[in-house]
Structure 1
Amino acid sequence: MSDIKNVGSDEEHAHPTYEKGVVEDVLDPLEDNEVFKKTHDGVDFRTVNWPRASVIFLKVIFATGVLSIPSAMYSLGAVGGALSVIGWGALNTYTAVIQGNFRNSHAGCHSIADMAGVLAGTVGRELCGGLFLIAYVLCAGSGIIGVSTGLNALSTHATCTVWWSFIATIVIAGLASFRKFQQIGWLTWAGFVSIFVAVFIVVIAVTTRDRPAAAPQTGPYELGYHAIAYPTFQAGIVASATIFVSSAGTSAFLPVISEMRQPKDYKKALYVCMALVNAAYLAFSLVVYKWCGSWVASPSLGSAGPTIKKVAYGVGLIGLIVSAVLYLHVAAKYLFVRILRNTHHLQQNTMVHWVTWLSCTFGLCSLSFILAEAIPIFNYLIALTGSVCFAPLAIALPGALWLYDYSHYRSGTLGQKAMYWAHWFLPALGAFLCIGGTYGVVQEIIDAYAAGTIGGAFSCADNSGST
């Protein structure tokens, strides 16, 4: 299967025009219609090499999953949870390969929305673009919750949680306003090391305790550890959506490809990222679940007691901030390119360029803040994002992309026919997870409000369990 295909539509052959900017002459067909040109006059976005891209991918994927998977293990059991981590990780890696191949073989695709446009025209592009924005605005919202939880833990809830969330919002919006992925590259290194070390501290700490920190410290108690669990549909689908979304943010990789020096090196960065992420998810979550059982905290950094919680959040706070910064940057970059594409403002330091860019970052971060305060439970926000947004973006749409490119397999050899019909499973699975997962998460949110587990919107209550 070639990664470079002949595209036939006028739209795909159309070349973006720029009123200004010296663009290098290129012979490589992959360079012919890149959104960002290699330019000597203006802003050169094409500065990311593949090792840097792999670290950006790592930071996009790693933080939220490692904080939410241990609690999902309780619903599925150790065996079911481990198989779910491996299965979803493998599937998300494969669909990321499909997206990268499609992006590199269809001229002018900057985002997953552009790919949907190839399939379904303007309507498909706009619907998918809206879904993409919602997905990463919600992800940034989960990052705001994570940062506010960390600040509450470090300060022992010294002030209203809404204020911590507001401070987190300002910091995240400010850092996300660096225009190029290369410029925030140093943050990704610091963020990845930060969250990895924080989780490692918690993993070691939980194994040194006689019983989980959240469990009764005297008398008998039930750990809640099961090799095989038998969850209800509601609990099982929410846990599955939580594990799925932990490695499903691969649509965020596509805008990064547009800023790579060599977009064809994308798969190198992808394989390094997904191998490390899924190995870490599997090891860390199984250890935490084995020692904490049903008493695991959400986010999991609070699972080893108040002292270790402060240490873990102190070390991991940078990582939590950087995760939200990347989610916001990806969403803002999509909207920025969508507004200024095919104008000279895209790569020139004009007033329109800067006003548009800062409006995208601070405007979208404000929406993330509002959503984070409306759904202030970390795991529910993560699972809802997975069901509503990433099931279509990371499963159903990549399946449709493959079927579009390889439609001739339907009448090909026996093996090609088998591959063609097997890929119809992806849109069907995406639809099932979207509908079933959304139902399960919404019902759990309703139950949590009814039980008083969730306070009201914009609540000042401590979300770290420190008081």
Structure 2
Amino acid sequence: MADMESKQGPAESHDPFGDEETTEVQYKTLQWWQSGILMIAETVSLGVLSLPATVAAIGIAPATVLIVGLGIIATYSGYVIGCFRQRYPFIHSFADAGEVLLGTPGRLVFEVGQLIFFLFATGSHLLTFTVMMNTITDHGTCSIVFGVVGMLLSFICSLPRTMKNVSWLAITSFVSIFTAVLITMIGVAVERPGQGFDVVRHTSFVNGFTAVTNIIFAYCGHAAFFGFIAEMKDPRDYPKSLCMLQGFEIILYTVASAVIYRYAGQDVTSPALGSTGPLLRKVAYGIAFPTIVIAGVINGHVAIKNVFVRLFRGTELIHERGLRATGAWVALTLAFWTLSWVIAEAIPVFSNLVSLISALFASWFSYGLPGVFGLYMDFGNYFGSTRRTVISLANLGLVVVGVTVCACGLWVSGVAIHNDSSKTSFSCANNA
């Protein structure tokens, strides 16, 4: 990237949290490893559970190439986000980045886009919560009731206002998802419920590209990266957090998806925790309980914080614990999780919801927009040297990936939702 010197940007070109030495609520408290744990908990959650079904759709060889390849590309795009934040250190969210690029219209578009993305992402967590509860209880009650329970639990866990407090929950989430995936891998290896596997599998364009969007969903944490950087003690340590995330997720995604598909075969479920026998399935979902809730809470917390900062940026309320500040946070949190629950009930098929999220949002936040950021920073200096030319082409490639995934992904997810009549919206039926 071009030089990293800070430049003045929009009118609100100042740190949203300012000097916190004497404030009641302090936000800039994350060590790099805490930020890394948060990034892992936010990203490595439901995404890994959709990957074995992705491998089943296209075969183990192309799926492995896509998982590793898209992971490497996502690492570069995450690095570009860090460079953009270092160039414009007042950025707290994609909305601020949109204002740098396009002024007020850019802020509005990016602000609405990131909020809708987080609503859909947290909706997928609430949907998985209902699947988990139906599995553990053998459909003990109406699925809508389970959804409401998940919403209330997520609301309560989202009440802390700082990332540092949430980061301790993230450690539990990290251990939870890793253990649940490990149990699933061991379970399918012992039970061997599948009948062989395909190295390459011929499939339709809709099924094949849906598989691609499921992989992209597994790398869709980038929308929260600006928020994590903004609450780090030293934002210059962000590359360490990024490497911690990407190294862990690429290895876990590749190994877990290949092993589970190898032994579960073509009938592997999405989420993958349902691929084991009845008892182990319940055990795996029980252990995954923390990550199903906490990873959604982290996404929700970032979204709520973006709105909170937008409302109170530059005022004393942002650092106060008084009735107005606390009441505003609680009200925003309740409104957010209520809307998220509505989305979860409206699109009750996990793989279809994942595909739609990837096409609409992950295509841009994880790939397309970082490419735009890189091209913006290097404007007028695209081909000054061989290194500059390579970087410019890489950034242009990110934009092409974003546009392609958005256009094709919207079409295939729309077809899949239209054709899938197995589940109905706002239903008490068992969705396990």
Q: Which TM-score band applies after superposition, normalised by the shorter structure?
A: over 0.9
In structure 2, the residue matched to 1:38 is 20
Matched, 1:97 2:79: yes
Q: Contact between 1:116 and 1:397, CA under 8 Å: does it hold in 2?
A: no
Query: CA 1:340/1:106 → structure 2, altered by over 3 Å: closer, same or farther?
Result: same
1:359 to 327, 331, 339: 331
Distance (whole Å) between structure 1 residues aligned to residue 366 and residue 95 of structure 2: 12
In structure 2, the residue matched to 1:51 is 33
After TM superposition, list the pairs within 5 Å mapping 1:132-151 onto structure 2. Answer: 132-151=114-133
Question: What SS class does the counterpart of residue 165 from structure 2 fall into?
Answer: coil
In structure 1, the residue matched to 2:171 is 189
TM-score by length of 2: 0.96
2:413 to 430, 436, 441: 441
After TM superposition, list the pairs within 5 Å mapping 1:271-286 onto structure 2. Answer: 271-286=243-258
Q: Contact between 2:124 and 2:354, CA under 8 Å: does it hold in 1?
A: yes
Q: Contact between 2:24 and 2:320, CA under 8 Å: does it hold in 1?
A: yes
Matched, 1:316 2:288: yes
In structure 2, the residue matched to 1:24 is none
Matched, 1:457 2:429: no
Q: Which amino acid aligns with 2:431?
A: N
Matched, 1:70 2:52: yes
Number of equivalenced pairs? 432
In structure 2, the residue matched to 1:251 is 223
In structure 1, the residue matched to 2:64 is 82
Matched, 1:177 2:145: no
Distance (whole Å) between structure 1 residues aligned to residue 301 and residue 185 of structure 2: 30
Question: What SS class does the counterpart of residue 427 from structure 2 fall into?
Answer: coil
In structure 1, the residue matched to 2:149 is 167
TM-score by length of 1: 0.89
Q: Contact between 1:3 and 1:101, CA under 8 Å: does it hold in 2?
A: no
After TM superposition, list the pairs within 5 Å mapping 1:11-410 onto structure 2. Answer: 11=10, 16=14, 33=15, 35-212=17-194, 223=195, 225-410=197-382
Q: Contact between 1:145 and 1:376, CA under 8 Å: does it hold in 2?
A: yes
Question: What SS class does the counterpart of residue 207 from structure 1 fall into?
Answer: helix
**Percent sequence identity over aligned pairs:** 28
Distance (whole Å) between structure 2 residues aligned to residue 229 and residue 350 of structure 1: 59
In structure 2, the residue matched to 1:5 is 5
Distance (whole Å) between structure 1 residues aligned to residue 121 and residue 414 of structure 2: 17
Question: Which structure: greater helix fraction?
Answer: 2
Distance (whole Å) between structure 1 residues aligned to residue 106 and residue 402 of structure 2: 17
Shift of residue 34, structure 1, vs aligned partner: 5.4
Shift of residue 201, structure 1, vs aligned partner: 0.5
1:347-402 CA deviation, whole Å, 9 max, x = no partner? 12232211221122111111110000000111111111111011122211111100
Shift of residue 8, structure 1, vs aligned partner: 5.0
Give unpaired runs (5+ residues) of structure 2.
none
Shift of residue 5, structure 1, vs aligned partner: 2.1
Distance (whole Å) between structure 2 residues aligned to residue 37 and residue 75 of structure 1: 52
Q: Contact between 2:32 and 2:238, CA under 8 Å: does it hold in 1?
A: yes
Q: Which amino acid aligns with 1:462?
A: N
1:310-329 CA deviation, whole Å, 9 max, x = no partner? 11111111111111111111
After TM superposition, list the pairs within 5 Å mapping 1:410-425 onto structure 2. Answer: 410-425=382-397
1:70-97 CA deviation, whole Å, 9 max, x = no partner? 1011112101110111011111111111
Distance (whole Å) between structure 1 residues aligned to residue 393 and residue 177 of structure 2: 41
Question: What SS class does the counterpart of residue 409 from structure 1 fall into?
Answer: coil
Q: Contact between 2:16 and 2:314, CA under 8 Å: does it hold in 1?
A: no
Distance (whole Å) between structure 2 residues aligned to residue 356 and residue 3 of structure 1: 39
Query: CA 1:93/1:436 → structure 2, altered by over 3 Å: closer, same or farther?
Result: same
1:203-232 CA deviation, whole Å, 9 max, x = no partner? 0010111434xxxxxxxxxx3621012222
Distance (whole Å) between structure 2 residues aligned to residue 36 and residue 162 of structure 1: 43
Shift of residue 346, structure 1, vs aligned partner: 1.0
For the aligned residue pairs, the C-alpha RMSD in angstroms reads 1.6
Q: Which amino acid aligns with 1:373?
A: E
Q: Contact between 2:383 and 2:392, CA under 8 Å: does it hold in 1?
A: no
Q: Which amino acid aligns with 1:390?
A: A
Distance (whole Å) between structure 2 residues aligned to residue 295 and residue 277 of structure 1: 24
Distance (whole Å) between structure 2 residues aligned to residue 106 and residue 48 of structure 1: 20
Shift of residue 151, structure 1, vs aligned partner: 1.1
Distance (whole Å) between structure 2 residues aligned to residue 297 and residue 78 of structure 1: 16
Q: Which amino acid aligns with 1:417?
A: T
